[in-house]
Amino acid sequence: MAAETVSDLRKAFRSGKTKDIEYRIEQLTALKKLINENVEALTNAVFKDLGKCKTESMLFEIDMLETEIEECLKNIYKWTAPDYVSKTLMYKPMTCYINKEPLGVVLIIGAWNFPINLTLMPLIGAIVAGNCAIVKPSEISPVTAHLLAEMVPKYLDQECYRVVCGGVKETTEILEERFDKIFYTGSGNVGKIAMTAAAKFLTPVVLELGGKNPAYVSDDADLEITANRIAWAKFTNCGQFCIAPDHIICSKVVQDKLANCLKESIESFYGTVVAKSPDYGRIVNERHFERIEALLEDNCEIFFGGLRDKDTLFFSPTILLNVSKDAKCMQDEIFGPILPIVTVESEEEALEFVNSRPKPLSLYLFTSSGERIRKWRNETSSGSFAANDCVIQGGLSTLPFGGVGPSGTGNYHGKFSFEAFTHQKSCLEAPLRLVEGANHRMRYPPYTERKLAWARWIIFGKGGSCNIL
């Protein structure tokens, strides 16, 4: 089944239709129409899967995708045009340029936490770059997955773009096929499976993974503002957000004040009975609920929250104080509404702690010092870095979105998506004359000192020219 689908898409790709820019524009416009005409159905599906409120779906799913398509439509001619490059002397009579060509048939494996965005955003990149694509939404958000499978064929050309639903079995089967790129979003463990499958064919990958994103709050930060920004980023989508702050690192003094400010922020956002807030989401399923619950150890110091109800998958915003660096919740990414605070004696200890752990997807810093911002930016490594805010760096399509090392490989959004699905082919067109000039003869054997000096100068600009001429 998977083999047949890939073979059909290969045939369609070889027909050349996706290479036509007008065709790509038509498909992108159709995808925009799909989104515009089905806002209610799409946001309702996400609500059914995640209890996500309409505002969050509008911002993070619908509007982000629409803006991305508009950006592609605005720039498609510019991005697809060849780039003519600068040349040294030998190349002057030649035309040297980078041709942008699609890779072929690509596989996109989406994740469940932003089930429309994480599935269609890479598809936009695949389309604008002229590829055919198989899209595999996450089975963990089944309502959205099936809605996409039903809608995409109504709007997009089925010969070139397919949605395949399924879980581990189906994905394993698809991964046995050869693709020209695999774009995977999800956990690092499955990322390894995708990368191993890709390695069999030397297929390039983009891996959009996760990690434990630290937020260091310096003693000089305004704590009320910091609390609002961290609380919003952490509890949006119930903490199931790959670039949400995973934990806070700060001094003991800051912890004691910040914890109260965080409590106030949470109550001002969701009221004192969070379970009744229409704006607070739910955990995606029982398995994840149990996983998050297991992070609360018997001896942990719950300052706020900890309320939960497995039947309704409600898990309240939860703040833990004085969390030890080797506590259960400090091992793997939390990906839920638990916010541990780890205290340190000094900023150096905080830096050392961050740098001793795997490179995160995002790193956040709250401070009023520009010098400290530069210090943290330069002395740490993470997919993205934001000072005095969280998460919003992912909403700007002129910034690449992606991890580094264990938090991911490659990036996308805007022009970076186009590049992720494009081969930049080096092209050189030389004139073919009847008689070859000195420019050619100087690089043919038999080699001489004089030829070498000439070649070095004319090709690389090295050495003087007067003794040659």
The crossing angle, in degrees rounded to 10, of helices 64-80 and 117-128 is 20
Residue (of 60, 24, 67, 68) closest to 42 by Cα position: 60
Is position 111 an interface residue for ligand NAD (rule: CB under 6 A)?
A: yes
Tell me the window of 163-171, 290-298, 385-393, 436-444 that interacts with ligand NAD (CB under 6 A): 163-171
**Calpha distance 436→456 (Å, rounded):** 19
Rg from Cα positions in the chain: 26
397: three-class secondary structure by DSSP: coil
Instruction: Determine which residue in the list 76, 209, 230, 373 makes contact with ligand NAD, applying CB under 6 A.
Output: 209
Q: How many other C-beta atoms are found inside a 10 Å radius of the C-beta of residue 393?
A: 17
Instruction: Determine which residue in the list 6, 45, 118, 330 makes contact with ligand NAD, applying CB under 6 A.
Output: 118
Tell me the window of 205-213, 260-268, 316-324, 345-353 that interacts with ligand NAD (CB under 6 A): 205-213
Is position 393 an interface residue for ligand NAD (rule: CB under 6 A)?
A: no
Is position 307 an interface residue for ligand NAD (rule: CB under 6 A)?
A: no
Instruction: Determine which residue in the list 113, 362, 384, 417 makes contact with ligand NAD, applying CB under 6 A.
Output: 113
Nearer to ligand NAD, 141 or 318 (CB): 141
Residue identified by tokens 């070498």 is 452
Name the E strands within 164-281. 181-185, 205-208, 214-217, 247-250
x-or-dash string of contact with ligand NAD, 165-194, rule CB under 6 A: --xx--xx------------xxx--x--x-
208 flagged as catalytic:
yes
Is position 210 an interface residue for ligand NAD (rule: CB under 6 A)?
A: yes
Residues 226-245 that bind ligand NAD (CB under 6 A): 242
Nearer to ligand NAD, 104 or 110 (CB): 110
- Using CA of residue 388, residue 391, residue 392, residue 397, what is the dihedral sign? positive
235: three-class secondary structure by DSSP: helix
Taking the complex as a whole, the smallest distance from the CB of residue 203 to ligand NAD amounts, in Å, to 15
68 flagged as catalytic:
no
Q: Which of 56, 68, 71, 208 is catalytic?
A: 208
Long-range contacts: 325-330, Cβ < 8 Å, 24+?
325/353, 327/297, 327/300, 328/294, 328/295, 328/297, 329/247, 329/295, 329/296, 329/297, 329/300, 330/212, 330/247
Main-chain phi, psi angles of 381, to 5 degrees: -130, 130
Tell me the window of 107-115, 214-222, 245-253, 342-350 that interacts with ligand NAD (CB under 6 A): 107-115
Residues binding ligand NAD: number (CB under 6 A): 28
Give the rounded distance of the alpha carbon of 254 from its chain centre. Answer: 32
Applying CB under 6 A, which residues contact ligand NAD?
109-113, 118, 136, 138-140, 167-168, 171-172, 185-187, 190, 193, 208-210, 242, 333, 335, 361, 403, 408
**Active site residues per annotation:** 208, 242
